[in-house]
Amino acid sequence: QVHLVESGGGLVQPGGSMRLSCAANGFMFDEYGIRWFRQAPGKEREEVAFITPASSFTHYADSVKGRFTISRDNAENTVILQMNNLRREDTAVYYCVVNLRGTDYWGQGTQVTVSS
């Protein structure tokens, strides 16, 4: 059973930092790329970051480029999203996602609220 669990969200002030984790189980973790998405009320779902299986390539949305960093530890089946210089518009539920044989598997999400 494919399972992804996000953690690390919460309330943070503008300009602050937050570290999200995604723990994955049920598939060969080191053979698949992982994506972070976010969903905010009234906005379209946005792909925030992507990382290849061996961390050889990463991609970021323009909205987070230079502020967010995606990384992974294949020995621990974990993906990290380090978020710095957070803005109010970063407020959203953040999800990690893996595509297995044409099917997307999502975690339950973790809420990030950027507010003073």
pLDDT score at 43: 95
Encode pLDDT of 13-46 as tens digits.
999 999 999 999 999 999 999 999 999 999 999 9
pLDDT at 98: 98
d(CA 53, CA 73): 10
Q: Give the residue-averaged pLDDT of 45-68.
A: 98
